[in-house]
Amino acid sequence: MKRTIIIAILMILSITLIGCGSQSEAIIIWHDKEESVISVIEDYLAETLPELEINFVHKESLTDTLKLVGNNKSTAPDMYFFAHDKIGLFAEIGILAPISDFIDINTFDDYVEMTVEAATYKDVMYQLPLYYETLLFMYNKDRLSEDEVPTTSEELYTYMQENTDARRYAFVEQYSNAYYSAGWIHGFGGQILDQEGNPTLDSQEVIDAVTYHEKFIEFMPQGQAEYATVNTLFLERKANSIIAGPWLVPQARENGIDLGFATMPTIDETNLPIAPYAGVQGIHVLKVQADQPERKAKITQIINALTNPEIGVDLALVSGAAPANDLAYLDSQISSDELVMAMKEAAINAVPMPNLPQMDVMWTTTSSMLTQIYLNDADILASITEAQEDSEDLIDLMN
């Protein structure tokens, strides 16, 4: 019996060692992306680095899993492909390697400045940016001509007054959502969170932005500002214009909408444009794997290969997102793409989503504040004060 148990244990150990050896040969990259996006990168790397075995693994709850295994050499991936906004959290818990460990930092002189800013936390760059997305002002050309597109907030307000009726809205947006309403706050020179991770909801700029924005909501759906409702109104031609993400574009075109893109209106009170958040998608490296010389050498090859502007072109063509590498815009396929170039122009004023750990708190408290004000008709100052206090308390608990 004892001999049988020993043999069984030896067999399990041998299988485990074989599995570890196999895994150690391949570079593992976790992601949460669509198959079309991953196929572009897989095909490119297979052609560029045929000597390397690279496995992309779709991972549900990617960020939560990384919190648990990011420092574990046997279970952590080598890299992951995700948005930039968790960089601060993962840098603080010590699982990320600086991207400068693998590539000359001067390479990023050729990148869209906003993407480099997004990838940087406490003066250290932790992401290789591949592409970015931001909200856009879109309109139905059958309902709104290019000459009629509002260029200022007051022009937009007048257009809404004159063109909203029981059949159709002139303009819609997700006004009670922090991600969507942040553009108005930035247009007043405000911010939700400062660079040190302190909530700033009770600043005069935020108060002014929320107060000013309220009058526009009178001419939008009352009590219904969620994603599905707002987008459906535009897709069903019951709204002439919308602030939305590029992910709405394929559906709009499938529905036969003659889609136009315009720059964000300028706020008359500040002479600043509505400036939405931008999300930058890219490659991050796990320190625990990069500390192994053989793996670091392979990771370095992959990182450098993915700086080729060609990958940005190919990703833009399948996703509609805008390349992070400025050199990609020299390609005529990109420079002639109306959607991609609209995002390129929007990147001039777009604000990278804060990559500070404290932002996890602010998404919840800010959206709750906006819901109270815009959907429940709560007092603006009282709601802002409560949200500021809640944010401070929750961030204190984090610390």
- Whether 307 is in a domain gets the answer yes
Tens place of pLDDT for every residue, the chain, 399 residues?
A: 434 433 343 333 333 333 333 346 899 999 999 999 999 999 999 999 999 999 999 999 999 999 999 999 999 999 999 999 999 999 999 999 999 999 999 999 999 999 999 999 999 999 999 999 999 999 999 999 999 999 999 999 999 999 999 999 999 999 999 999 999 999 999 999 999 999 999 999 999 999 999 999 999 998 877 888 999 999 999 999 999 999 999 999 999 999 999 999 999 999 999 999 999 999 999 999 999 999 999 999 999 999 999 999 999 999 999 999 999 999 999 999 999 999 999 999 999 999 999 999 999 999 999 999 999 999 999 999 999 999 999 999 987
- Which one-letter DSSP state was computed for residue 79? E
Half-sphere exposure in the Cβ direction for 223 (13 Å, CA)? 1
Q: Looking at the domain assignment, is residue 326 inside a domain? A: yes
- What is the tens place of the pLDDT at every residue in 200-252? 999 999 999 999 999 999 999 988 778 889 999 999 999 999 999 999 999 99
Q: Is 8 within the bounds of a domain?
A: no
Domain end marker among 352, 368, 384: 352
Give the Cα separation of 277 and 187 in Å (integer).
Answer: 11
- Domain membership of residue 19 (yes or no) is no
- Domain contains 55: yes
Does 262 lie in the same domain as 390? Answer: yes
H/E segment holding residue 30: strand 27-31
Residue corresponding to tokens 């939305």: 244
Whether 236 and 101 map to the same domain: the answer is no
Using alpha carbons only, what angle is made at residue 86 by residues 81 and 87, rounded to the nearest 5 degrees? 85
145 and 248 belong to one structural domain: yes
Angle at 167 between CA 162 and CA 171, to 5 degrees: 50
Determine the Cα–Cα distance for residues 263 and 265; give it in Å rounded to an integer. Answer: 6
Residues pairing with 323 in the sheet? 131
**Amino acid 82: pLDDT:** 98
Asked, for residue 3, whether it belongs to a domain, the answer is: no
- Alpha-carbon gap, residue 229 to 182, rounded angstroms: 20
Sign of CA dihedral 295, 357, 226, 280: negative
Show the tokens assigned to 122.
């406490």
Residue 279: strand pairing partners: 133
Predicted local distance difference test score (pLDDT) of residue 223: 80
Closest of 122, 31, 23 to residue 83, by C-alpha: 31
Nearby residues of 115 by Cβ (< 8 Å), 6 or more positions away: 129, 132, 280, 282, 324, 347, 352
- Residues 363, 215 within the same domain: yes
- 2, part of any domain: no
Same domain for 87 and 188, yes or no, is no
Query: In CATH, what number is assigned to the domain containing residue 90?
Result: 3.40.190.10
Tokens of 353: 């989503």
Q: Using an 8 Å Cβ cutoff, are 396 and 388 in contact?
A: no
For residue 9, being part of any structural domain is answered with no
265 with 378, same domain: the answer is yes
Q: Are residues 284 and 312 in the same domain?
A: yes
174 lies in the same domain as 264: yes
Tell me: do 156 and 237 sit in the same domain.
Answer: yes
- Which residues span the domain enclosing 228? 136-275+358-398
**pLDDT score of 163:** 97
**Is residue 323 within 8 Å of 334, Cβ to Cβ?**
yes
Same domain (yes/no): 102, 144 = no
How many domains does one find in the chain?
A: 2
According to DSSP, the residues that pair with 56 across neighbouring strands are 29
How far is residue 131's CA from residue 150's CA, in Å, rounded to a whole number?
29
Q: Are residues 257 and 379 in the same domain?
A: yes
Query: Do residues 192 and 77 share a domain?
Result: no
